[in-house]
Amino acid sequence: MSVSFILHDDPFVQFEAWYGEAEANEPAEPNAFTLATAAADGRPAARMLLLKGLDHEGTPERGFVFFTNTQSRKGDELSQNPAAAMLFYWRSLGRQVRIEGRAQPTSGAEADAYFATRPRISRLGAWASLQSRPLLARAVLEGRLADMEARFPGEDIPRPSNWSGYRLVPTRFEFWQNMPYRLHDRTVFIAVSGGWTQGKLFP
């Protein structure tokens, strides 16, 4: 059995192609990914997030954008150690994409623009939630949310200063395609000066 996958020389273009197919075929949240971070002491942590932006060719920094509370555990860890990894898995297509790189803060203008698109309750929740901090009872969160509803009764809800975005700028991609008998196809891209190298990995 001989199988060859021809991938684009630019891993961003290849990702967009696979992502488009995932949007058409994945039944729930094709933009969901696992974000792995590590504290300064090397302890890892991982959680699911949603991709909210992908920079295209021609932008100064090409990367993958997500938003969060910057005082959450992930925010604390990224402030200590900006190295991070993302994993997309699309079961319906038998594909996964691993992305490694460094996370950097988005601009305030980018964060403002996205925050304004969120549902009102989500914007209020960004104010109410002390993300990743101990919560004694659900009623405490609900009470804080009620306080924020009273504080911001209309649609004009500013972005909290501790809620913003990050852009993971990749240095490595791996595209994984499921194949019979676990003889999977793996293509890796590694950033080099002026472009990317491309190669295959044993499954």
Q: Is 70 helix (H, G, I), strand (E, B) or coil?
A: coil
Count Cβ neighbours within 10 Å for each residue of 41-64 and write b for 16 or more, e otherwise. Answer: eeeeeeeebebebbeeeeeeebbb
pLDDT of residue 7: 74
Instruction: In the chain, list all ranges with CATH 2.30.110.10.
Output: 11-116+161-201
Q: What is the dihedral of CA 87, 90, 91, 93, to 10 degrees?
A: -130
Phi-psi region of 144 (alpha: psi -120 to 50; beta: other; left: phi over 0): alpha
pTM score: 0.92
182 is catalytic: yes
Q: Which of 62, 73, 182, 186 is catalytic?
A: 182
pLDDT tens digit sequence for 108-152: 999 999 999 999 999 999 999 999 999 999 999 999 999 999 999
Q: Is 62 within 8 Å of 55 (Cβ atoms)?
A: yes
| Residue 88 CB neighbour total at 10 angstroms | 23
pLDDT of residue 194: 84
Q: Which residue in 161, 134, 148 sits closest to 70, CA to CA?
A: 161
pLDDT of residue 2: 45
- The fourth-level CATH superfamily of domain 11-116+161-201 is Electron Transport, Fmn-binding Protein; Chain A (2.30.110.10)
CA distance 174 to 148: 43
pLDDT along the chain (203 residues), means of 10: 65 95 94 97 96 79 93 96 98 96 96 97 97 96 97 96 97 96 96 93 96
